Structure 1
């Protein structure tokens, strides 16, 4: 009984507030607010998750870093499984992608494929995003012995170590 009276009282107060607003010329909106892009959406309305993420990335200026991260995460499907087994992207800055190869042979292969790789990455990221691919070979090289034992004299013509 008390709930029915409370609901009736609430409806009565709402009607009174609407009438007061109408007298002042402040009628409530009948159309939803429009966003600058022409989309109808009130700020409190629910929206699709993907759209919310895109809006957040655009508002914060994170679109390009997110796209780069996506490419790095999908490296295998972008460059192919054979190349991806022996290479990995390290960084992206100022239009330059640095790729590390696990051997000098694969580093040479990536250098030969650099222009194709730039085209493929720009297909994913947008034209002109990647300008150059730099390749690094494997970290470290053959271990040099340490200590006082050395061969005296100059290196010979067939000496390929070092």
Structure 2
């Protein structure tokens, strides 16, 4: 059997299903229905998404991208700075675009200070959402003599060590 236009029935059916040549019945159906695209197959947005894509959409919509980028920066510090460097320097704070890195010694702090441009470039390339603009390297904490309930403000005596 063939269609009235001389097209085989199988081709006409295929064209109707693909929407290339709407039939009268299809036009009537569209008039009765209220174009509910949510339930229509083969429409935009109906393709299945992977779990990773869904989670990426959720984190972006929730505004978690910045915090997750900061967490990734801390977790992947050894890959950014190198294994040897990561053993002697740890990121401790990130505020106002400044990443503070605590080093084991002042020598490590000075050497990393000289490599700061390379480290900042790598951080910006890997974690653009984290908002790192510069890195501050600090040495180890020095002991403080100002502690206890009776500590006196000011310089105190200067003849402590004779």
Alignment partner of 1:85: what SS? helix
Aligned to 1:86: 88
Secondary structure in 1 matching 2:140: coil
Matches within 5 A, 1:20-99: 25-26=32-33, 29-31=39-41, 34=44, 39-41=45-47, 47-99=49-101
The equivalent of 1:115 in structure 2 is 117
RMSD: 3.2
Deviations 1:31-63 (A, max 9, x none): 3664xxxx435xxxx642211110111101111
Once residues 127 and 30 of structure 1 are traced to their aligned partners in structure 2, the CA distance between those partners, rounded to angstroms, is 37
The normalised TM-score by structure 1 is 0.61
How far, CA to CA, are the matches of 2:62 and 2:128 in structure 1? 19
Matched, 1:102 2:108: no
* Contact residue 80 and residue 119 of structure 2 kept, 8 A: no
Alpha carbons of structure 1 residues 106 and 142: separation in structure 2 relative to 1, 3 Å: farther
1:147-158 correspondence to structure 2 within 5 Å: 150-152=160-162
Structure 1 residue runs without a partner (length 5+):
1-21, 144-148, 153-162
Greater relative contact order (CA < 8 Å, ≥ 6 in sequence) = 2
- Report the count of equivalent residues: 120
Instruction: State the distance in 1 between where 2:81 and 2:160 align.
Output: 45
Instruction: Give the TM-score normalised by structure 2.
Output: 0.61
